[in-house]
Structure 1
Amino acid sequence: MTVSRTIPASASEVFSLLADPARHKDTEPGDWVRDAVTSEVIRGVGDVFAINMYIEAAGGHYVMHNVVTAFEPDRTIEWEPGQPDATGEISTGGWRWRYDLAPAGGSTEVTLRYDWSATSREQADEIGGMPPFGRDFLEASLASLEAALAN
């Protein structure tokens, strides 16, 4: 699922917000994403950042560990959410969040993609099906991102 929006900010400003785990709550239109557990700015592929989450249907509060899978400053950032296993290794669920940025005059064309193609049927059934929200959620996410950059 993919949506795009032109945001009146530079690609550098957009990317800086997306690479800061403390600002991820600013990209979510509801109340699922809470505060960051890890405060270090994302620096590259393989980085892991943890975010406090709250979804009633998922049992309330939990921590999501996100593995960065694509990183090109001011152009692309992508991560796969997951959970650490008993050894501390993060097992991801097969879905990815990806932002691609393209300068558009004094603004940036931001494309947000939610890809669940690697999610197993068992994992999808466990969380009530994929995707867990509609296209309107992604559109609202980009509106939230734009509002956060305007402040």
Structure 2
Amino acid sequence: MTDQEKLSATLTIDAPAANIFAVLADPTTHSSIDGTGWVQEALDRAPLTAAGQVFRMAMHHARHPDGDYRTVNQVQVFDPPRAIAWLPGQEKGDGDLELGGWSWRYDLVPLDDSRTEVTLTYDWSAVPDFIRARGIPFPPFGPDHLVDSLRHLAELVA
């Protein structure tokens, strides 16, 4: 699915929704799920347990000014085993969060006891003008990234 400021992909995964959700709620698995190779490792390794929780990731992107950088993510939706979403951003010098306005969301629909339809959505509709003015393209990857991420997720829970 694509609309003006959202990109989604759906895949049926041969695993129960609870097993898939547990992998998504574990930040240490995110580098294995990522279809771009940008996510390097979890800096906060505790499982995600609630909306509002913050977790940090080490990242790398060749076109980033520093190459290696860190993101801070705030859990927006935590509804086991149906949905999980987070908003990426950065930590300002004073410890406050500056979220970028884009989000990652996984919706899980059990089809039976051992198969789950998983939809991954990247939504950049809330990106503020000052970030858009920096010339960052949205989305910064093609739709194949979402499909690759879902395939990686399926491999992890197999």
Q: Which amino acid counterpart does residue 80 of structure 1 have in structure 2?
A: L
**Matching residue of 1:116:** 124
**Equivalents in 2 of 1:125, 1:138: separation in Å?**
25
Measure the CA separation in 2 of the matches of 1:127 and 1:143.
30
Gaps of 5+ in 1: none
Please state whether the residue corresponding to 2:69 is helix, strand or coil: strand
Aligned amino acid, residue 138 of structure 1: L
Relative distance call for 1:36 and 1:127 in structure 2 (3 A) is: farther
The residue number in structure 1 matching 2:21 is 15
For 2:151 and 2:121, the matched residues in 1 are separated by 14
Tell me how far 1:149 sits from its aligned partner. 1.5
Question: How far 1:35 sits from its partner (Å)?
Answer: 1.0
Structure 1 stretch displaced more, 122-131 or 41-50: 122-131
1:54 CA drift (Å): 0.5
Change (3 A) 1:18 1:120: same
Find the counterpart in structure 1 of residue 89 from structure 2.
82
TM value normalised by structure 1: 0.95
Distance 1:134 1:81 in 2: 18
Give the AA of the match of 1:13. Answer: N
**Which of residues 37, 43, 48 is equivalent to 1:42?**
48
Equivalence for 1:66: 73
Which piece of structure 1 moves more, 125-134 or 10-19?
125-134
Q: Which amino acid aligns with 1:25?
A: S
Bigger proportion of residues as helix: 1
Deviation per CA, 1:94-151: give whole Å up to 9, x if none: 000000001012211001000000002331342521111121111111111111222x
Structure 1 partner of 2:34 = 28
1:86 Cα deviation from its structure 2 partner: 2.2
Instruction: Give the CA RMSD over aligned residues.
Output: 1.1
Which residue of structure 2 lines up, in the alignment, with residue 3 of structure 1? 9
Query: In the alignment, which residue of structure 2 is the partner of 1:54?
Result: 60
Residue identity opposite 1:84 in structure 2? E
Runs of 4+ in 1 over 4 A off after TM superposition: none
Partner of 1:140: 148
The yes-or-no answer on 1:130 pairing with 2:138 is yes
1:132 is paired with a residue whose SS is coil
Aligned-residue offset at 1:24: 0.6
User: Corresponding residue for 2:109?
Assistant: 102
Question: Aligned residue for 2:4?
Answer: none
Higher deviation after alignment, 107-116 or 82-91: 82-91
**Structure 1 89/10 Cα, relative in aligned 2: closer, same or farther at 3 Å?**
same
Amino acid of the residue matched to residue 24 of structure 1?
Answer: H
